[in-house]
Structure 1
Amino acid sequence: MTEAVLRSLRSACPIAPRLSPYAEPVQEWLAGQLDRLGLPPDTAARQRLARAGFARYAGRLHPDAVEPDLRVLAALFTWFFLVDDSCDGPGQPDPARIRALRDGALILLRQGSHARHPGISGPLRRLLAQAWREPRRRMPARWRLRFADAVAHHLDGVWREAVARSAGRAPGVDEYVELRRATSAAYVSYPLIEFAAGRPLPDAVYHHPALRRLADVANDLLSWFNDIASLERDRATTGGHNLVLAVAAERSVPVATAVDLVADRWRSEMGRFLALRAAVPSFGPALDESVTALLDGVANTVRGTLDWTLESARYG
């Protein structure tokens, strides 16, 4: 039932699909890197990770990235997916461990790979340190701070969700939508558009209200699509932390009806996304090309997530 809804939503998406020509070779490279690092630690999990195709996801979101940069992006994406798997599996989540992981990751991002923290160690730390090396070397301080702040916001959201799950408290719809914007990691992916394009924006432009509104709606679009795709897994593991389940509980409707309601809301938000993108103002000839690169990249996060979700074994 959800498969048909997902394909209908993808058909309704006016953003053109794109894919990097380097996606497959980078996936082979990534598999070798993870093997060398011993990630994940058991063979079966490593095979599942390979079938998920995270380099292909990076290639859909960053189709114009040169091959070395796509390797960096694929490694960073993989790190966040591994963190998601460790925090979002069956059983009781561990908020203290998530908080320690957050603190350790932020120390590495803000101070460099020489800084140590017990919250992150071993292969997971080495993967992040290796992936962060090139962005840290190449990008300006304001961008590095912006990326680290986005990671902090994301992991704070993961922690808040874990606290709620531990308490057995399912969120209402409005609360969930706001929390999902953090747990999705979309805000982490947006600065990576600047890295891939080599066009870091001034903070005043990056945080301009018109761009922030567009970023929020794009986040909702990819998050809600993912919630429909991961519905069955989330019913078993997340204690109601899924938009479909939140809508079903709040409106007292069957889950199947809630799927349709979320899909209708998604279609409405896609129309809003297009209107907001068309309304983004000019920032002058020195910045407009960089702004356009960011807007195109944000659109790719939406369309790329749709296509990758339907082709990846992660949600199969």
Structure 2
Amino acid sequence: MTEAVLRSLRSDCPLAPRLSPYADRTQQWLPDQLVGLGLPLDAVALDRLRRAGFARYAGRLYPDAAESDLRVLTVLFTWFFLVDDACDRPDRLTPPQIRALRDGVLALLREGPRARHPGFSGPLRRLLVQAWREPRRRMPARWRLRFTDAVAHHLDGAWREAVAKAAGRAPGVAEYVELRRATSAAYVSYPLIEFATGRSLPDAVYHHPVLRRIAEVGNDLLSWFNDLASLDQDRASAGGHNLVLAMATEHGVPVETAVELVAERWRAGMARFVALRAAVPSFGPALDEAVTAHLDGVAHAVRGTVDWTLESGRYPVAPAS
């Protein structure tokens, strides 16, 4: 049932799909880079990585990035997914370990590769050092601060979710939606639009209420679609941290009914996203191209998540024919 709902939502999605011409070549390049950094990847793990297709995900979100930049973005995406796995697997990191990881990551992003923290070491650290090198070199200080703040928000969300799971406390719908905006890492992907396109936004525009609302709705759309795709996994391990499960509990309905409620909520959110995007005001000729690139990037994040989820081996959805 869930698979049919996912494919129906993709059919209803008015956002155009995009894919970088360098995506598959970058996916072939990735495994040797990870092995060279000392990640413990045996044949099974490498096959899982190949089937996940993180380079295709990055290529859907940043379809116009240069090949060298797509490699950087793919390594960053891989790092975030590996951290997500570490926080969500059966032998997952404890809340204190996640807090220590957060502190080490933020020290590296703020102070550079010489910053050391006992909670963040080994291959994961080396992977982030490599991925961060080019954005740190090329992007201005205000952008680096914006990106680092987004990473802090994301890892705080991972910590809060871990605390709730450890306590056996399932969230209500409103609490979950707010938490999911952090754990999704969508807000981390948005600053990277500027890195990929070379079009930067002043803070006053990036944080403008209209753009913030579009970013929020886009985050919800990709998060809720992901929740539908990962429902079977989350029923076994997420402790109620899935919008479908939260809806089923709060409304006192079967999970199958909650799936339909989430699909209706997604469609309403998509209509709101399209309307908000169409109503964005002009910020003047000097900024409008950069604003358009940012809005296109948020749309690519939504549509790219939809398409990648249905093709990736990371989720129990049969590949589209």
TM-score by length of 1: 0.98
Pairwise CA distance, 1:38: 3.1
- Over the aligned positions, Cα root-mean-square deviation in angstroms equals 0.9
Determine the C-alpha separation between the residues in 1 that align with 2:166 and 2:33: 34
- Whichever residue aligns with residue 305 of structure 2, its letter is T
SS of structure 1 residue aligned to 2:14? coil
Determine the C-alpha separation between the residues in 2 that align with 1:7 and 1:271: 18
- Whichever residue aligns with residue 177 of structure 1, its letter is V
Percent of residue pairs identical? 78
User: How many matched pairs?
Assistant: 316
- Whichever residue aligns with residue 52 of structure 1, its letter is A
Residue of structure 1 equivalent to 2:163:
163
Spell out the pairing of 1:40-189 with structure 2 (5 A cutoff).
40-91=40-91, 93-189=93-189
Pairwise CA distance, 1:45: 2.3
Moved over 3 A (4+): 40-43
TM-score by length of 2: 0.97
Determine the C-alpha separation between the residues in 1 that align with 2:42 and 2:223: 29
- Do the aligned partners of 1:194 and 1:200 also contact (CA within 8 Å) in 2? yes
- Whichever residue aligns with residue 133 of structure 2, its letter is R
- Whichever residue aligns with residue 18 of structure 1, its letter is R
Pairwise CA distance, 1:43: 3.4
Residue by residue, what CA displacement relative to the aligned partner does 1:80-100 show, whole Å, maximum 9, x if unpaired? 000000001125651000001
Determine the C-alpha separation between the residues in 2 that align with 1:92 and 1:149: 24
Residue of structure 2 equivalent to 1:284:
284
Residue of structure 2 equivalent to 1:210:
210
- Do the aligned partners of 2:104 and 2:117 also contact (CA within 8 Å) in 1? yes
SS of structure 2 residue aligned to 1:313? coil
Determine the C-alpha separation between the residues in 2 that align with 1:126 and 1:138: 19
Residue of structure 1 equivalent to 2:319:
none
- Whichever residue aligns with residue 30 of structure 1, its letter is L
Pairwise CA distance, 1:44: 1.9
Determine the C-alpha separation between the residues in 1 that align with 2:296 and 2:264: 24
Structure 2: 5+ residue stretches without partners: 317-321
SS of structure 2 residue aligned to 1:315? coil
The alignment status of 1:248 with 2:254, answered yes or no, reads: no
- Do the aligned partners of 2:86 and 2:92 also contact (CA within 8 Å) in 1? no
Residue of structure 2 equivalent to 1:197:
197
SS of structure 1 residue aligned to 2:190? helix
SS of structure 2 residue aligned to 1:133? helix
SS of structure 1 residue aligned to 2:118? coil
Determine the C-alpha separation between the residues in 1 that align with 2:210 and 2:5: 30
SS of structure 1 residue aligned to 2:169? coil
Pairwise CA distance, 1:36: 1.4
Bigger mean CA offset, 117-126 vs 73-82 = 117-126
